[in-house]
Structure 1
């Protein structure tokens, strides 16, 4: 399952230039004597500090409002409350296992009967939402600034998605699922041709698009705010547009607690299923006694290895294990395909995929309301898996976001719901159809074993292939690697959820990872004592229920932000043809300037000198002229990570969105194909223009003072065109007020040409 990318492949932290302005820059503007928008001059303020963001200008304050400290800190409220909940449940399950099992069964029966429709509708809406994001025009928005590009090649990225798509729980259900659906289908008679056609498809459905849509939803939301807006990689950051600065307080802590507790139960369930399965393999291979003692020993072993990896700095070795588990799974699938019933398996796989695609919409909304015992079947299968994916959503979402910086939302969603799902389909179909082939041959002893003891049924199937001991050993190794990777990755993600981490590329402290590894192990043992896999299914279904609230909040929050992106994009359409469609225009340069720029790779000292000698005076002149003409202007600075003050120009637009022009120093790699064949460094520095939507993607280095002034005015004209569009279209609660007074409906300045005389001033 997911594993953190290597340190040397982690995305660079969001530059300070993309983070929120300083407190000084955010101070109220002084009153104006007159306003370009007519009416009584008003400052761009909101009376209520807790108002939620309604513009991208508000969103730019997110990093400042979300983080009380600029260094990683443990969130003790989240840590203590989550730990108490999990520890209390564990103690209850250990001391009173029968009572725990009975109570959870009664709760699950109530949920399945009363709220089954709610789980179904929730997952359907999640699927529809992520598909809408991918297919809409906002699908071109990147997980990062507009100029960012993916850090991984397409093949590497897809391979990492494949690695995240396989878990040991899938091996567990890949045999028992199809056999149960064939013998005891949710509707109709069992052991029939119709039941056979749907047996594998039901398991494919449970491991298909629904789960990965949930992962994609949380992954793209967290990645968007982390890499495009410089916020922490967390659930609470994804809810900032909806809840504002309140996500930093008790409300945000409550959301993190829900996500964290759900994740812990999801990981514990996967670990519990894993040890139940692996204990049979160890018993077959090494003659150990299969039972609870061996299962607890495997849990302890996973904790020891996680602690060793955390304290000894061998995380890279764990990452190699995560790659090895993918290749071992591929080897296992190839072995089963070519030593088993090859033609039958390939024919069945093709038919299974076709039937899945044909029946997917109907299955998505299927609740079996008219079938006797339909609620019980839903609770044991569909609802359990939906709860499983809800619980794992924050966990896998963090991993997907980590490896997808620079990808567009469309790339992210389409890849997430296709590549890993195809991997799941292959595994489920090969195992499931191999099991069904044995049942069709009349091997009912195997069928009963697969139903009553899924872990024994899985190994019984492996024992029917040529070279059975080799295949059992390979399968046990593969399952063990999946198990260890999930344990280590789960501890890492839990430590992140219980800490405040400003940099999305960093993790929680090591001691916190160890703490969660131990506590998850305690919970796993507790559920094993309380009834094994069945109790784990009950707990997952119960504790995932609050996570559905997070899913709805994230969808509402992300929808609000995408409306802002749409308004920004459609405003840019009104710009003149000489401007670039994304990121604004590129300043005109002479041919000598263009040629010089092709081989110029300035140092930090050189760009700082140019910033002070050319850019800063140009912005000072522009700000002075704006003030002379009655505009409300702020000329401020922001200090970057190197301690250099970067200039910022902001023009107040009364009740509309402010004009924002910032010049920031950005580090970039020197291209290997450049004209400068020998170089002293691998990086150079650029002076990029940032608005509230990120970098314009061009460099001011080498321009004259007059060219910089012209660039500011071009940007300002583009901003006026955007405001014109915003005031003429229905964009309530996004960038403009929902209802404007009549005297302001045409108030966006059409006489902005009176500032064009700046363009005629000489240096």
Structure 2
């Protein structure tokens, strides 16, 4: 697949259809919730009950399909495709990339749920008797399910779509680009803009849920340390303060300092994890970690489809699994955009398995060590009150656990500090991503305008505050389930678009192997005999030589071919300016994929065996240059230097006939 390039603005600017439509829906929802919080809370709960009863099966099926799709794609022949041009290399080393993926797996919600969720499942399991050892084992199995491969599978899907279409096909780094194989240029119309708008709506409520859980967790910690009471107004004040800090970071250009603080924060989080591991029943925690992992992997196929259809009706599924699947979907544009930006140049195979397993290891270790520490306190040491707190005051559960450890106040103070920094950095990143999704223009690596970051930060804070007033945790969960539903359908279309694009890739590879006529390029350019061929092989041209070659041979050849194509009535676009290191010819075919032939001068370090000869002529000449052929998918890794004008024309036509064969195969 090759998408026609479209002119974009020099700097990112607001995308009116996407911004106004998404902002109107979100603000209208926020005004309704804030205007009548009690009534809105009741309505949200009824809507979530309906969603769990009516489309719970769909959420479970969709999330499993997302995971299966990315895994099968990575294991198939498509796994060799690069997220970028064929010649692109990863921007970051594997270690740096792994570190950034590791950071993507840490969130303030890990603190909220690592103790409260397993204890709640232990006390109120979906199946069996609560408070038993079997209920404890089931609780950890469910915890791993909710924080395991399914969530990272949906992140990998969105990140793959964003990176593939942006970096390999030069489309905007936007959700709508994934539908290019399905609707073509209409991605820059109402259909495409609706996709981006739904993505923004889901992201705002997903980020709002994260902020809501985070502020409840922080309020509980401040209450424990300094007696600040639990109340909606205190929580609204905390949201305003922390979102204000996040907006200040997003627009002030002090990201470097915040990143350093974030790196320190991750070290503190890892230190806290190790403290809980070694200050508690270490051997038991290591044993349960391995057993939890085995239980999770063994039950993964059945739990992926478990709707408890033969059990007594309850609202457990809607309040937990369906909510989690909706929440992961809502977070997918946010985390997916971050992962896409750091993954250019990697193959799909290493990308998928890196995204699935690098952050997952830390997440499951965190959940297992904290969750089993809490269960051990309840089952092994008789702290039954801890389970009651987890059910009735889930935000306080982690602090009640940590107070049983040495140096508890210092550890709890560190936990509050780490949570605060995670809150600010997540909110900062969220506002930047929302501004990017609602903007257009600029390069794919540029963020949206600063005023959009301010707008989305304020909007998200207002929505979160309104939902907390409307019903605290239950209202947050309900809003996420409802707003993620339309975006989950878009993700299915993304899968279809990716599959179609990958199919086109495979057909293009077949077309490359097709030789419509005897190759008239490389094999026939050495018409002067073997001595001339040997001389050409060991000659390493200078920049000026390649400039002269491109000016005297390549440019006239492209001009001749362009003139003939125009006579045939085809759309021709050329970039043949003098004194440039790149010449290009693009042939349009209406709605079909255009043919792009580009010659780019590239420099390389001269091989060591040739240095002695070069020193005799020019001590400063340590580089040589090639006139390399590039097609839409990237470099073809061969050099035109030494071709005659006629041979360059024949090479263009050879590549064009292969492109026609490709168009024939995909019709």
Provide the rounded CA distance (Å) in 2 between the counterparts of 1:514 and 1:671: 51
Deviation per residue, 1:532-563 (Å, 9 max, x gap) = 22211111111111111111111111111111
Kindly indicate whether residue 580 of structure 2 is the aligned counterpart of residue 646 of structure 1. no
Q: 1:103: Cα distance to partner?
A: 0.3
Deviation per residue, 1:674-724 (Å, 9 max, x gap) = 96999999999763312233321344356554664564465457557x55x
Change (3 A) 1:395 1:621: same
Provide the rounded CA distance (Å) in 2 between the counterparts of 1:264 and 1:440: 39
Q: Secondary structure at the match of 1:512?
A: helix
Equivalence map 1:267-666=2 (5 Å): 267-374=207-314, 376-441=315-380, 442-573=382-513, 590-597=533-540, 602=543, 607-620=546-559, 636-638=573-575, 646-648=583-585, 650=587, 660=595, 662-665=597-600
Of 78, 85, 107, the match for 1:145: 85
Deviation per residue, 1:214-259 (Å, 9 max, x gap) = 1111111111110011111001111111112222122222211111
Provide the rounded CA distance (Å) in 1 between the counterparts of 2:398 and 2:619: 59
Provide the rounded CA distance (Å) in 2 between the counterparts of 1:685 and 1:302: 53
2:45 and 2:474 in contact (8 A); partners too = no
Change (3 A) 1:651 1:116: closer
Of 184, 192, 201, the match for 1:244: 184
Counterpart of 2:120 in structure 1 is 180
Kindly indicate whether residue 3 of structure 2 is the aligned counterpart of residue 60 of structure 1. yes
2:606 and 2:624 in contact (8 A); partners too = no
Deviation per residue, 1:104-132 (Å, 9 max, x gap) = 00001111111111111111111111112
Deviation per residue, 1:163-193 (Å, 9 max, x gap) = 1112111221111111111222111222223
Provide the rounded CA distance (Å) in 2 between the counterparts of 1:535 and 1:613: 70
Q: Secondary structure at the match of 1:545?
A: helix
Change (3 A) 1:104 1:434: same
Q: Secondary structure at the match of 2:597?
A: strand
**Number of matched pairs:** 653
What 5-or-longer segments of structure 2 have no aligned partner?
A: 527-531
Counterpart of 2:175 in structure 1 is 235
Counterpart of 2:529 in structure 1 is none
Q: Secondary structure at the match of 1:366?
A: coil
Deviation per residue, 1:238-296 (Å, 9 max, x gap) = 11111122221222222111110110000011011101101222233344344334322
Q: Secondary structure at the match of 2:471?
A: coil
Q: Secondary structure at the match of 1:142?
A: coil
1:139 and 1:410 in contact (8 A); partners too = yes
Provide the rounded CA distance (Å) in 1 between the counterparts of 2:597 and 2:367: 53
Provide the rounded CA distance (Å) in 2 between the counterparts of 1:334 and 1:253: 46
Equivalence map 1:86-125=2 (5 Å): 86-125=26-65
Provide the rounded CA distance (Å) in 1 between the counterparts of 2:542 and 2:402: 60
1:266 and 1:540 in contact (8 A); partners too = yes
TM-score (norm 2): 0.90
Change (3 A) 1:634 1:262: closer
* 85-94 vs 260-269, which moves further: 85-94
Change (3 A) 1:567 1:459: same
* 697-706 vs 122-131, which moves further: 697-706
What 5-or-longer segments of structure 1 have no aligned partner?
A: 1-55, 737-763
Q: 1:397: Cα distance to partner?
A: 0.8
Equivalence map 1:722-737=2 (5 Å): 722=661, 735-736=666-667
Q: Secondary structure at the match of 1:688?
A: strand
Provide the rounded CA distance (Å) in 1 between the counterparts of 2:296 and 2:90: 32
2:525 and 2:644 in contact (8 A); partners too = no
The structure whose residues are more often helix, as a share, is 2
Change (3 A) 1:289 1:146: same
Change (3 A) 1:668 1:86: farther
Change (3 A) 1:635 1:113: closer
2:307 and 2:317 in contact (8 A); partners too = yes
2:74 and 2:348 in contact (8 A); partners too = yes
Deviation per residue, 1:10-56 (Å, 9 max, x gap) = xxxxxxxxxxxxxxxxxxxxxxxxxxxxxxxxxxxxxxxxxxxxxx3
Q: 1:475: Cα distance to partner?
A: 1.6
Counterpart of 1:750 in structure 2 is none
Q: 1:655: Cα distance to partner?
A: 12
Deviation per residue, 1:721-751 (Å, 9 max, x gap) = x55xx86xxx6xxx22xxxxxxxxxxxxxxx
Provide the rounded CA distance (Å) in 2 between the counterparts of 1:573 and 1:464: 68
Provide the rounded CA distance (Å) in 1 between the counterparts of 2:210 and 2:577: 44
Provide the rounded CA distance (Å) in 2 between the counterparts of 1:656 and 1:76: 29
Q: 1:307: Cα distance to partner?
A: 2.8
Change (3 A) 1:472 1:135: same
Q: 1:468: Cα distance to partner?
A: 1.1
Provide the rounded CA distance (Å) in 1 between the counterparts of 2:390 and 2:623: 59
Provide the rounded CA distance (Å) in 2 between the counterparts of 1:268 and 1:585: 63
Q: Secondary structure at the match of 2:228?
A: coil
Q: 1:609: Cα distance to partner?
A: 3.8
Provide the rounded CA distance (Å) in 2 between the counterparts of 1:656 and 1:264: 37
Change (3 A) 1:477 1:60: same
Provide the rounded CA distance (Å) in 1 between the counterparts of 2:607 and 2:22: 50
2:165 and 2:177 in contact (8 A); partners too = yes
Change (3 A) 1:154 1:94: same
Q: 1:573: Cα distance to partner?
A: 4.5
Q: 1:149: Cα distance to partner?
A: 1.2
Provide the rounded CA distance (Å) in 2 between the counterparts of 1:213 and 1:682: 47
Counterpart of 1:135 in structure 2 is 75
Output the aligned Cα RMSD: 3.4
1:238 and 1:557 in contact (8 A); partners too = yes
Provide the rounded CA distance (Å) in 1 between the counterparts of 2:457 and 2:493: 29
Counterpart of 1:264 in structure 2 is 204
Q: 1:481: Cα distance to partner?
A: 1.8
Q: 1:60: Cα distance to partner?
A: 2.5
